[in-house]
A and B are shown apart, each in its own frame.
Chain A
Amino acid sequence: MLPYLVLTLLLLSTIGYYLGRRRSLAMADGHIRNLHSLPSYYGFYTALWCGLPALLLFILWMALGSILITYLVVADLPPEMRSLPPERIDLLVSNIKNLVQGNIVSDTADPVMRAAADQYRRLQAIGNGALWLLVLALAIGGGAYAYRTIAPRLRARNLVERVIMVFLMVSSTIAILTTIGIVLSVLFESIRFFHAIPITHFLFGLQWSPQTAMRVDQVGASGAFGAVPLFTGTLLISFIAMVVAVPIGLLSALYLSEYAHHSFRSVAKPILEVLAGIPTVVYGFFAVLTVAPLIRDTGQWLGLDVASESALAAGLVMGIMIIPFVSSLSDDVINAVPQAMRDGSYALGATRSETIKLVILPAALPGIVGGILLAFSRAIGETMIVVMAAGLSANLTANPLKAVTTITVQIVTLLTGDQEFDSPKTLAAFALGLVLFVVTLTLNIIALHVVRKYREQYE
C-alpha cells in the first residue's frame, strides 16, 4: 500500500512540473527572456515543493511510525506484563509483531497477546490512513503554494540549485556517517573485547587458539588470544606477495612506459588490468588446486617438508593478484616524470636503461614507494585467497613452507559458525578488524602523502 503512496507522490510531482512550467510560460508573454529562469526551472520548482515536504513526512513516519505504535501497544498491555524486565518486553513485542504478520498461528496464542496484536493492527491502519491524508495534503498544498508564487521575477533557477546542493550534501554526509558508524562500532566492540582480554595479551601474546575460549570458565585464562602469530602470518604472506608483485609489476611498468611500442602498450596494458578484474575467489581456487600441489610436489622432490596449505602458495598467488596494482601505480608515477628529464638524459647520450636507472627511477622512487605501500596494505587486507590457501593453524613461524594463518582468515573463522554474539571469541574478530583497519589506514595515509608530495615536486 505504501509503495502506491510513493508512486502517487511521483505522479503529483510530475503534474506539478508541467503545471509550473505552463504557468511560467503563460506569464512570459511569449518571450522566455521575460522570465528570470528557464520554464523548466519553474516546473522543477513546483515539483520540488509538491514532492519534497511530503516525502520528508513520509520518511519520518517510516522511521518513527513503528516505534510510536509499539510504544502505544506496550502502554496498553496489562500492568503485570509491563512490569517485566526490558528484555522480556522486547520478546513480547517481537511476538506481537510476529502475530501481526501472521508468522504465528493466532489460535495458539494467548488471548492477551492476540488482543495486543489486534490493537497493533488497528493502530497501524489508522497511522497509514493518516499518513495518506497528510502526505497528499502536503503535496497538493506545497504544489499549490509553489504554483501561486510563480512570477517572472521568481528566481526558480537559484532555488532549484540550492535544493540540489542540499541533496548532494545529504548524500555525502550519509556516506561519511556510515563510515564513521562502522569504525565506531568496531571500536566499541573491540573495547568490550579488551574488557575481557587485556589488550597487552592480545597484542603481545604468542598463542592463538580462540576455540578453547568457547567455554566460559576459560575466558582469558590461558592467553589463547595472543594475536602475534596472526600478525606474523599476515606479514609473512604479504611479504611473499610483495616479493612476487613488486619486481614483476615494476619491471613490466618500466617496459610498458619506456620501451614498448605504442601499439603493444595499448594491447598489453588492458590485459594486465584484466588481472585486476579476476575475482579473488578464482585466485583462491588457483592457489589451492594448482599452486599448492605444485609447491608440495616440488618440495617433496627436493626433500623438503611442505605443508599442504603453505604460506608460500597463498603468498605467490596473492602476489600475482597484486601485480596489476603495482604496475599501474608505478606506470602512473613513471609517466609523471616529465619528458624533459628523459630528453635531458638522451641528449647527453644516455641509453634507455641508463636513463631509467639514473634519472627516471630516482625521480619516481617516492611515488613508487607510495604505490608499493598501497599494494602492501591491499595484501594485508586480502581475505579470499588466504582463507582458501593459507590454512587455519596459527603457527608462529617464518618458514614459508609451513601453514600459517592471517588476521583476515581468523576474522572469517571467528564469525562463521554458531556462537554467542558477545562471547570473547566473536568480539576478538572486532579487535582483529580494528588492528587491520588501523594498520591499513596508516599505510594508506603514509602512501598517499608520499605520492602527493612527489606529484607536487613537478607541478
Chain B
Amino acid sequence: MNTTATTINSATHQGTLIVAQAEAPLKTGPRVIDYNDRRTVGDITVPDPKMVCRDVNVYYGENHAIKTVSIDIGNRQVTSLIGPSGCGKSTFLRCLNRMNDTIPGCRVTGEITIDKENIYDKNLDVVQLRARVGMVFQKPNPFPKSIFENIAYGPHIHGLAANKRELGELVETCLIKAGLWEEVKDRLEEAGTGLSGGQQQRLCIARAISVNPEVILMDEPCSALDPIATARIEELMDELRENYAIVIVTHSMQQAARVSQRTAYFHLGDLIEVGDTEQIFTNPQHRLTEDYITGRFG
C-alpha cells in the first residue's frame, strides 16, 4: 500500500502533518495509485482558516454518509467541493451551518469550529450560527414575497435595521453587491418568484448576504441556470470572496477551476484529496481524483 509522506491517515491524524508536495514534479501521474486507499491526500490546513473541521462523520440512520473528514475552510477564498453524485458534498456542506439538524435521522459527530468556536457546542445558538454562515441552495428558492421583502426578511428577524430608511438602504446595498440592483430597482414590490432563474439565484445570494454572514455556502448554485446566468454568478463569487469565506459545491469541474482557489475531492463519503485548485486539476495526487477530473467516471 502506498503511504507516502503526503498522505494522512485520516482516522488518526493530528491536523498538522503534510509537507513536501512541491517536490513532486508536475505531470508525473498520481502518487496514490491504490483505489482502496481512502486516506486524504494533500494539505488539509490553510494558513488563515475561517472554519476548521476535524474527524467529521455524518450518518443518515444507518447510512454512513461522511466518513471522518478533516479540512480547513480558508478565509477570503473560495473552496470548492467536487465529486460524483451521492458522494456527500451537500451533506458535508450542510454540516457547516448545521442545516443537517433539520433532517430527521441525521447525526453528526466530530468537531467543526468557526473562529475557534465549536459550532456543535451545546451552548451555541444555532440560529446565530446560521446568520454567520449563510447558504444558497441548488434550486433558487425565493420566498413567495416581493423582491424587497425577500431581502428584508433576514435583517427584519435579526433586527439589523433601526428604521425603514436603513432597511431600504440595506436592501439596496445587498442587491448592488449581488449585481441585481440595476435590473430590479424599479420593481422591488414585484414578486421575487417572477424573476428569471438566474435573477432568482442572485436574489437568493443577496438574501444570504443581507444578514452579514462571514461564510457563504453554495450548493450547486448554477446547476439550474443557463451559461450566461452562470457566468454572472461566477463573477459575483469572485467579487464576494474579498469579504467572505465561500464554499461551493459544484458538478462542473470547469466552474471549480474558474472560481475556486482550493478544491476538495470527495468520493463515497471520503475526502480523497484536497489542495490548491490549480494543483488538483493539473497534478492530482490520488488515482481517484485523477480519474474523476479526467472524466473517467463521475
Contact = CB atoms under 8 A, between A and B. Distances in A.
Interface string A334-358: 0000101111111111110010001
A262 interface: yes
23 contacts: A262-B104, A338-B141, A340-B139, A341-B141, A342-B102, A343-B99, A343-B141, A344-B142, A346-B102, A347-B97, A347-B134, A347-B135, A348-B134, A348-B154, A348-B207, A348-B208, A348-B210, A349-B154, A349-B157, A350-B127, A359-B143, A363-B144, A457-B144
B144 A362 contact: yes
B153 interface: yes
Contacts of B207: 344, 348
Nearest to A363: B144
Given A343-B135, A347-B97, A349-B129, 9 more contacts: A341-B141, A342-B102, A343-B141, A344-B207, A347-B135, A349-B131, A349-B157, A358-B157, A457-B144
Tell which of A262, A350, A351, A354 has the most Cβ of chain B within 10 Å: A350
A351 B153 CA distance: 12
Nearest to B144: A363
B140 to A, nearest CB: 9
A404 to B, nearest CB: 41
B85 interface: no
State the main secondary structure of chain A at its contact with B. helix
A348 B128 CA distance: 9
Interface string B11-45: 00000000000000000000000000000000000
Instruction: Point out which of A341, A343, A348 has the most chain B C-beta atoms below 10 A from its C-beta.
Output: A348
Nearest to A351: B127
Given A340-B139, A340-B141, A348 B211 contact: yes
A345 B211 contact: no
Interface in A390-444: none
Contacts of A341: 141, 143-144
Given A347-B208, A349-B127, A358 B153 contact: yes
Interface string B198-214: 00000010011011000
A349 B211 contact: yes
A343 B154 contact: no
A346 B210 CA distance: 14
A359 B157 CA distance: 12
B143 A344 contact: yes
Contact of B102 (A262, A343, A457): A343
A348 B131 contact: yes
Given A262-B104, A342-B102, A343-B102, A348 B141 contact: no
Nearest to A262: B104
B145 interface: yes
Contacts of B208: 347-348
A349 B129 CA distance: 7
Interface in B76-93: none
Contacts of B156: 358
A346 B158 contact: no
A342 to B, nearest CB: 7
A344 B137 contact: yes
Contacts of A345: 143, 153
Interface string A307-344: 00000000000000000000000000000001011111
Given A362-B145, A363-B143, A350 B157 contact: yes
B130 interface: yes
Contacts of B143: 341, 344-345, 359, 363
- Of all A-B residue pairs in the complex, the 6 with the closest CB atoms, nearest first, are A349-B131, A340-B141, A347-B135, A349-B130, A348-B154, A344-B141
B130 A348 contact: yes
A343 B156 CA distance: 17
B104 A347 contact: no
Contacts of B204: 344
A348 B153 contact: yes
A76 B217 CA distance: 96
B144 A343 contact: no
A345 B134 CA distance: 11
Nearest to B98: A346
Nearest to B155: A348
Contact of B158 (A338, A349, A358): A349
B128 A346 contact: no
Nearest to B101: A346
Nearest to A357: B157
B199 to A, nearest CB: 16
A347 B145 contact: no
Contacts of B129: 349
B144 A354 contact: no
B127 A343 contact: no
B25 to A, nearest CB: 44
A84 to B, nearest CB: 74
Contacts of A346: 99, 102, 130
A348 B104 contact: no
Contacts of A349: 127-131, 154, 157-158, 211
B262 to A, nearest CB: 23
Nearest to A263: B104
Interface in B262-276: none
A346 B211 CA distance: 12
Nearest to B210: A348
Nearest to A337: B144
Interface in B52-67: none
Contacts of A262: 104
A131 B145 CA distance: 72
Interface string B154-194: 10111000000000000000000000000000000000000
A347 B154 CA distance: 10
Interface string A102-146: 000000000000000000000000000000000000000000000
